[in-house]
Amino acid sequence: MKTVLLAGGAGYIGSHMLKSLLAAGYHTIVLDDLSGGHRHSVRGGTFIEGSIGNTSLLSQIFRTNRIDGVMHFASCIQVAESVRKPAEYYTNNVSNTVSLLKTMTENGVHHFVFSSSAAIYGTPLHTPIAESHPKNPLNPYGRTKWMVEQILADFGHAYGLRSMSLRYFNAAGADPEGGLGEQHEPETHLIPLILQAASGRRDSVQLFGSDYGTPDGTCIRDYVHVSDLCLAHLLALQQLWEGASSNAFNLGAGTGYSVRQVISAAEKITGRSINTIKRPRRAGDPEVLVADITRARSELGWNPAFSDLETILTHAWQWEQK
């Protein structure tokens, strides 16, 4: 059975991916420095505490294990933080990723699945956004993701690396069985913030901008269930093993919901009122971000099964109540 290395496998998406791989019968190695992940989220496989920037540790891992593919979830992910701390983001998201790629190719491992982001597109010229949309990231976080995608292309030409870049829109939801969910500290994602307000763990939710040119004045975003993201990663790696060329895919639901719609749906599911506080718009927040997932459906064979808003909120609420 093949062995998969999950860089960042103790984090939100990585831990869900670990569960999916183990359920599919794969051997797994999780490499995570626990700066954003949680040891208790690694429920199976082999765990190694460490950074993808530790070249001697990487060399040891690849020399002592027969690794068939790598999935990379070990990025810093907060947009606002990336503006304040660009050095940290370029070091971890770019430099450390190059170290990982270099060690992979030196050890004959040529299959790589990368967690990219819709942040590479910047302010959309049109929606829904297809993969061919111009790339104009607005912040260091988005720029690091786009840089890595370009580095992957160069590694492909030079070293034969084949990769799949999966451009997430808004990852959301939790394990349908209730065992895993979002545990960011601090939390910055809308849905867990809303549900924390519903459960009483916070007093309110901040509503950044209520004067956009949308039906209710709030931003519209595309939410994709974490389990559907995991399915896409598995399909992508399997395609690489079968000889597929490098590619990039948008991952979303293909449908957008406004902030007010998400809050209203959460109130219905939880049966609780959610207090909101209006704030000014945040710089760089596009009005509408919705994915065109035509390519992922047709070329990856991916069909999101859990990414309607009600299911996402129901699974996330199960987790929040724990």
Fold of 172-222+254-321: UDP-galactose 4-epimerase; domain 1 (3.90.25)
CATH number assigned to the domain covering 3-171+224-251:
3.40.50.720
Q: Could you give the residue range(s) of every CATH 3.40.50.720 domain in the chain? A: 3-171+224-251
Q: C-alpha angle with apex 168: 166 to 170, nearest 5 degrees?
A: 170
Q: Could you give the residue range(s) of every CATH 3.90.25.10 domain in the chain? A: 172-222+254-321
* Residue 71 φ then ψ, to 5°: -115, 135
Structure tokens at 248: 């990039």
Q: pLDDT (tens digit, 0 to 9) for every residue of the chain, 322 residues total?
A: 999 999 999 999 999 999 999 999 999 999 999 999 999 999 999 999 999 999 999 999 999 999 999 999 999 999 889 999 999 999 999 999 999 999 999 999 999 999 999 999 999 999 999 999 999 999 999 999 999 999 999 999 999 999 999 999 999 999 999 899 998 888 889 999 999 999 999 999 999 999 999 999 999 999 999 999 999 999 999 999 999 999 999 999 999 999 999 999 999 999 999 999 999 998 778 899 999 999 999 999 999 999 999 999 999 999 999 8
Active site residues: 141
pTM of the model: 0.96
Q: What share of the chain is helix, strand, coil (3-state, %, to 5)?
A: 40, 20, 40
Instruction: Give the 3-state secondary structure of residue 45.
Output: coil
